[in-house]
Structure 1
Amino acid sequence: MGAQLLRAFSLEGIPANEAYVADLNNDGRPEVLFLQSPGILQSRIFSPGRPFWDAPYDASGRTRRTDYCLTAVDPQGRVIWQYGRPKAYVDAIECLGHVADQMVCCDDINGDGKTEVAFVCFDRLVLLEGATGRVLQQTGLDADNYGIVRPAATRQGKRLLVKNTERGHAPHWYADPALIFDAELNLVARLGKTVGSGHSPRALDLNGDGDEEILIGYEAYTADGHRLWRLEGQDPATYDDNNHVDQLQAGPFGEGGALRIVYAGSRMVYVGTPEGRLVWQRELGHPQHVLVGDFRAGGARAHLAILSVLHDNVLFFFRGDGALVNVLNPPPMWPENPEKIRGAHSGEGLLIYPQGCPDGSDAVITRDWGWPRVYDLAGNEPFAFPPPGEGESAARISCPRSAAEDEALRREGLSPGSPVVTRESYGIRIFDADGDGRAEVLIHNLRRAWLYKPPYPAAGAPNTHARLRPVTGQGWYALPQ
């Protein structure tokens, strides 16, 4: 069964590395922000000594990129406002990094009842008015390698977590440091040497006191930066930052529905309590992404879906107690390049579509396999997104370089081991676009977007959650909160 294509619209002039869904003007209807930026705006992305990765470059491979554009679009694809100017074309280095889905934060940050937009632009933390794009405040940062901006709610007002997520400047280890700002963009705390720091911080109220705590790596902090605990068994004296947290999620999958935290930790999967006690652990190759949900097939049931990158992407399903339920090795599907095996690695290899199966259980949507596909616990596809037809797809983007120029850049080591331009990767956002209580799915590449309505839940049977929030790979925000 296929999802219904509701509409498609062009992104010419607003190339879309990543999309962010929010009610920007507080009219009860969602808008979409499209971000165009070089990499994740940092001077060092992966390993030192690899020039191509040390800074975002232009098409020549030699000149530092300085462009940045954030575009607000209504559900029909009409531009509402833009911050910055878009580039005329987009190349692969703009899509690199683990955290592009966390680079923009939309929330009522200053407590005025309206939506604000917070983001990092090079070495500045910027706060915009959601409805107009007007700059409300901005403050300088001590480096240009911060990528993550996430909110934390406290009884004293919102906090903003601003975090590095890749190689850092000395003396910081991988994915350090992190900064905490108040709603006026005053620096509250600076955190460093966080064990497991990684790419996937969270903010949630762990103890029911009305203040959200901040989870970074294997550690928990108050919203003012005081460390509460470190996951049992994690020793900073022996910590290897290659074993950082690629993704963590929290949900009621413990015994009797108790809250548990699951960590995809580069080599190990850990499950712990909200107090930092280790419940179980398992070595799993290179676990990268994890979902918490209700996955069912026949009489079997699982609570965790974990993507591990072995020779290929492998999808594991576990019960909350650590019992393995099923393993899938879904094949890739590249409409524009059938011979392709693997695409650009993202921070969202898996997303959840709540109640996307005929029996009401949750479906998993794959992202790092090219065109998104949908699976249940048994490996069946409950529905599919019909790929765009010839002439409809915008994935064949034009590159300003010739094939010979591409090859020259590769020979010089500026793009080791991969094409300079990635044409076949797609982003995904899941949200209620029309207000009927059922989630739609927005799929986009750099030039075009498609909005689909899946067949499940059935018409007239909306998702059971009181308010369906946008779903990203960094969390199932449809969970009751």
Structure 2
Amino acid sequence: MRHNFNFCDEQEEALMYLLKEDFMEFPIGDFPYDRNHSAMGEYHYINYPGYRGRWHDPVCNHTYNGQGASWTITEYDGRHYMEQQRIRNDKPHRTFPMLTSGDRFWKDYELEVKLRMFTTKWGNAGIGFCCQNSANLLVLVFEEGELRLEYRHKEQVEIIERAAFAYNCDDYYVMKASISGDHVICSVNGKAYFDVHTEYALQGGKAAITATIPTQFEYVNVTVTDETAAQIDAARKAYSDLCAEEQQKYPKMKLLKKIDLRNFGTGRQVRFGHLLGNGEYQIVLAQCQKRVNRDAYGTISCLTAIDLDGNVLWRYGEPTSNTEIGTISADMPMQIYDIDGDGYDEVITAKNFEIFILDGRNGKVKKHAKAPYSTAEEDGTIIGVPDKIYAFDRINPDGIRICNFRGLDKPRDILIKDRYCRVYALNDDLEVMWHYQSDKNTGHFPFAIDINGDGHDELLVGYNMLDCNGNRIWTMPVKEDHIDEIVPGMFVSGPHKGKKYFACVAGKEGFLISDWEGNLLKKDGIGHAQRVSTGNYCPDKPGYEMVVVNFWGHQGIIYFYDSEGNPVWEMENELNGNLLTPVNWIGNGRDFILLNADVEKGGLIDGNGVQVVKFPDDGHPTLCAEAINMYGDARDEIVTWDYNSMYIYTQDDSPELNVYEPVKYPDYNASNYRGEYSYPKGFMKELG
């Protein structure tokens, strides 16, 4: 068996290098990073250019905007150094900048790092090991005049051992951690300080350098015995073989359509519907522009409607080949829905401070009205806006949702909102029925559902529940941050059997589960919780499992929960843009989880975290992905796209008759901030 390791020097010939890093292969300059420090990676897969070597930066932070890179490569006296640049780690919540190397199969190694701190007044610096992900690891750090061995998990930090240590800003320190099973020995400059047994070491995992102060790292060495190297190789191969074995059980992806988007491409501002009333899907793509302050006031510049062969049906606005058009991390106000019941979907949208209902067949205006006037900005009660004042006299709609506040035979009401404070309920004549100004952040995409069985939708607006007339019924006991996504559900087993719930991801408040009276049943502090979905991911277990991913701070860690909201496993694929969409790929009642369109680490995973369906290596776009049932049978297709092209994949055994067809989030309420669900028919009616 061939190992991807290097042999150590002759005096250490019994050992092998997992990693031997002196940073000399890195060019002088910044380690690759998002120069905009934007939220695009919440639901776009973006690989920022530059040389990374064998390192991964798992930390992103919108408060870094305008502050450059977290890590930079410098030179002194012929040597290269990796330097950490951040001096704050408390916003938007506690975050530990780091670079990681290796994989979760590493174990029983010796990690040696040489570092120098440029300040000793605050913060910490050191090494990480047994790192299953960037928020689940052991660290050896200097902090507050001490050397500490800590275990970091999610937002908790447990100090295992500590010792006084008089470090300074001028000297270099060689830190070393030796791991063997649960046995950990930690030393500095050849002197052992900690000799402990801890179960946390048994998990094994990557190595890391970490600091919350400006710190210079000269080299990083990771060594193992030849026997351990073979065990690591074997574990990695076993997992690869398991994935390959599982992938043979299920249909592969077959390219069905390839569409040239020419000059009307966009990011995840795409809607699918039935504009022509012929039973086939058509697509509307929105190009967008930013006003005043980053993504706070995004506006649609052009809508283009196409069929599945890429033929342009109509256009509203002027398209552009400028790919900056569409790079926006917010919902745009548009939905596709037959709101007047004529058998053809309309396009409900907003532009230039007006609300429009467009004929889906030709894009002509059926109805339009001025957006509501903005109020309350003068008394200081408006929240969630830059500079604490709303920029315009009229509302710039941030998103649209179709609701049924009037209790009609079908939903015919339109909810619009500003960024984070106010919602407006309009009827199908675009008349304002009521509006609500929230004392808590509204989040991105309120959820409408009939929670009391009276035939009228109630509305969960962030942490507040409103009745069908916009009056607050209750509020969750949470004040900070906002809800990004909401999923309704019902416990089918356990102590809460029969109780209906909302599973919510709420930024730095983490993952929340509340009942339909606003009482919190579960709360897991996983950092900035970003996306959530629920589905039948483990058919051999009762109920519907939940999966969550975080973003700001330690991004891209996927957390899996059982049907009662108890943690089961967590994993990190070192990619952003993890969608977590439930996919009905095999049509037998079992859902898979769509991550993103990356060939190696994306694709579909099952409820055990095993990659079961891969994307073909065919040059497909990877920026955006979606699962939607578009062709042939009841199973989902996978759509991927970027600014230039769109690919549509189906199963290579399609079509299949008499396959399972779940109830999923309706097409007419598409959003970049909706929690996804997949339930059997009748389950949503039972919910409300």
- TM band (smaller chain): 0.7 to 0.9
Structure 2-normalised TM-score?
0.53
C-alpha distance after superposition, 1:51-77 (max 9, x if no partner): xxx777xxxxxxxxx871111111222
What amino acid does structure 1 have at the position aligned with 2:363? G
- Cα separation, 2, equivalents of 1:129 and 1:292: 34
Match of 2:270 in 1: 19
Q: State the secondary structure of the residue aligned to 2:538.
A: strand
1:161 aligns with 2:415: yes
Match of 2:301 in 1: 68
> Which of 354, 358, 378 is matched with 1:124 structurally?
354
1:331 aligns with 2:574: yes
Taking structure 1 as reference, are residues 462 and 456 closer, same or farther at Cα in structure 2, changes over 3 Å only? farther
Match of 2:284 in 1: 33
Match of 1:205 in 2: 450
What amino acid does structure 1 have at the position aligned with 2:257? R
- Report the CA distance between 1:132 and its aligned residue: 2.0
What amino acid does structure 2 have at the position aligned with 1:296? C
Note the 1:43-442 alignment, pairs <5 A.
43-45=292-294, 68-91=301-324, 94-100=326-332, 103-141=333-371, 142=373, 143=394, 145-153=396-404, 154-156=406-408, 158-165=412-419, 175-231=420-476, 233-234=477-478, 239-240=479-480, 243-253=481-491, 255-267=496-508, 268-296=510-538, 303-309=545-551, 310-332=553-575, 342=576, 349-356=578-585, 360-367=589-596, 372-389=602-619, 426-442=623-639
Taking structure 1 as reference, are residues 116 and 222 closer, same or farther at Cα in structure 2, changes over 3 Å only? farther
Q: State the secondary structure of the residue aligned to 1:377.
A: coil
Task: Mark the runs of 5 or more structure 2 residues left unpaired by the alignment.
Answer: 1-246, 374-393
Is the Cα contact below 8 Å between 2:407 and 2:457 reproduced in 1?
A: no
Is the Cα contact below 8 Å between 2:347 and 2:357 reproduced in 1?
A: yes
C-alpha distance after superposition, 1:311-353 (max 9, x if no partner): 2300001123231011111133xxxxxxxxx5xx6xxx42423
Is the Cα contact below 8 Å between 2:582 and 2:678 reproduced in 1?
A: no
Taking structure 1 as reference, are residues 259 and 27 closer, same or farther at Cα in structure 2, changes over 3 Å only? farther
What amino acid does structure 2 have at the position aligned with 1:136? K
- Cα separation, 2, equivalents of 1:367 and 1:200: 22
What amino acid does structure 2 have at the position aligned with 1:388? D
The percentage of counterpart residues that share the same residue type is 21
What amino acid does structure 2 have at the position aligned with 1:77? G
Taking structure 1 as reference, are residues 280 and 135 closer, same or farther at Cα in structure 2, changes over 3 Å only? same
Greater CA deviation, 221-230 or 444-453? 221-230
- Cα separation, 1, equivalents of 2:658 and 2:671: 23
Taking structure 1 as reference, are residues 207 and 451 closer, same or farther at Cα in structure 2, changes over 3 Å only? same
Is the Cα contact below 8 Å between 2:588 and 2:659 reproduced in 1?
A: no
Is the Cα contact below 8 Å between 1:150 and 1:160 reproduced in 2?
A: yes
- Cα separation, 2, equivalents of 1:276 and 1:16: 38
- Report the CA distance between 1:266 and its aligned residue: 0.8
The structure richer in strand per residue is 2
- Cα separation, 2, equivalents of 1:20 and 1:34: 7
Taking structure 1 as reference, are residues 299 and 262 closer, same or farther at Cα in structure 2, changes over 3 Å only? closer
Is the Cα contact below 8 Å between 2:586 and 2:635 reproduced in 1?
A: no
Is the Cα contact below 8 Å between 1:442 and 1:451 reproduced in 2?
A: yes
- Report the CA distance between 1:203 and its aligned residue: 1.3
C-alpha distance after superposition, 1:101-142 (max 9, x if no partner): xx3212222344542211122422111112221101112223
RMSD over equivalenced CA pairs, Å: 3.0
Taking structure 1 as reference, are residues 281 and 369 closer, same or farther at Cα in structure 2, changes over 3 Å only? farther
- Cα separation, 2, equivalents of 1:218 and 1:25: 38
Task: Mark the runs of 5 or more structure 1 residues left unpaired by the alignment.
Answer: 47-53, 57-65, 166-174, 333-341, 396-424
Question: Based on CA coordinates, which of the two structures has the bigger radius of gyration?
Answer: 2
What amino acid does structure 1 have at the position aligned with 2:407? R
Structure of greater relative contact order (alpha carbons < 8 Å, 6+ residues apart): 1
- Cα separation, 1, equivalents of 2:358 and 2:396: 21
C-alpha distance after superposition, 1:261-290 (max 9, x if no partner): 011111222111222222222211110111
Taking structure 1 as reference, are residues 115 and 198 closer, same or farther at Cα in structure 2, changes over 3 Å only? same
Is the Cα contact below 8 Å between 1:374 and 1:383 reproduced in 2?
A: yes
Structure 1-normalised TM-score?
0.74
Q: How many residues align?
A: 397
- Cα separation, 2, equivalents of 1:136 and 1:359: 42
Is the Cα contact below 8 Å between 1:294 and 1:362 reproduced in 2?
A: yes
Match of 2:213 in 1: none
- Cα separation, 1, equivalents of 2:490 and 2:654: 22
